[in-house]
Homo-oligomer: A and B are copies of this chain.
Amino acid sequence: MAEEINDNPQSQKILNAAFACISKKGYANVSLRDIADEAGVVLSQLNYYYKNKEGLFNEVVKRLAQQYLIEIEAKLKNGESKKEKIACLMKYFQEMLKNKPELFKLLFDLSSMALWSASLRELLNNLFNDVAKLIETNIFHQSITDKENFQEHSAALSRIMLGAIIGTSIQVMLAWGQVDMMDSLSTIPVLFE
C-alpha cells in the first residue's frame, strides 16, 4: 500500500476522476467502476490507494473543502470596505453558479451525503465552520460602523449569510432555466447594509 498518496500521480488521477464523476452524476449514482474508467485506471487501483469507497469519498471532500477555503479567503481579501467584500463574495458564488455549477452541486450533494455519514459530517461541518469564521472576521469584524445588532450577532449572522448563499443557490439550481432567478444572490447585500 502506498504510504503517501498526496503527490502520487496515479492516486491524483483517481481523485480527479472521482471529483469529476460525483459532480457530474451525484454521489448516489457513481460507482467505483465509473471513476476507474474516467481515470483510465483499473478498478482495483482504487482500493489500493484509498482502501474503500468511503476512504475515496473522504478525500474528495477534503479536496473540495480545501479548494473552497482557499478561493473564498482570496475573494474576501479583494474588497476593501465591508460592502465591497460582500459584493466580492456574492460575485464569487454568482459566477460559480453560472460557469461551474458542478462545483456547487458537488458541495450540496456531499453535504447531503454527510447527513448519513459521521466521518463526512465532521469534514463538512469543519468546512462550514471555517467559512463562517472567514466571513465573520473579514466582514463583520471589519466594520466598526455597524448597527449594534450586527456587531452583537456577528457569529450568527455570518452563518446566516453563508446559509443564505447556499440556500438561495439551491433554489437557483433547481430552477435551472428560470432566467429571473439567475442573479438572486445579488440581492443579498441589501440585507447586510
Q: Which residues of chain A have a CB within 8 Å of any CB of chain B?
A: 25-29, 105, 108-109, 111-116, 121, 124-125, 128-129, 132, 149-150, 153, 156-157, 159-160, 162-171, 173-176, 178, 181, 184, 187-188, 190-192
Contacts and interface: CB of A to CB of B under 8 A. Distances in A.
How many copies of the shown chain assemble into the complex?
Answer: 2
The secondary structure that dominates the A interface is helix
Nearest to A127: B174
Nearest to A193: B149
Given A160-B188, A190-B157, A125 B165 contact: no
9 tightest CB-CB pairs across the interface, nearest first? A163-B167, A167-B167, A163-B168, A112-B112, A28-B28, A166-B167, A156-B187, A164-B164, A26-B116
A65 to B, nearest CB: 12
Contacts of A132: 171
Contacts of A125: 171, 174-175, 178
B105 A174 contact: no
Contacts of A178: 125
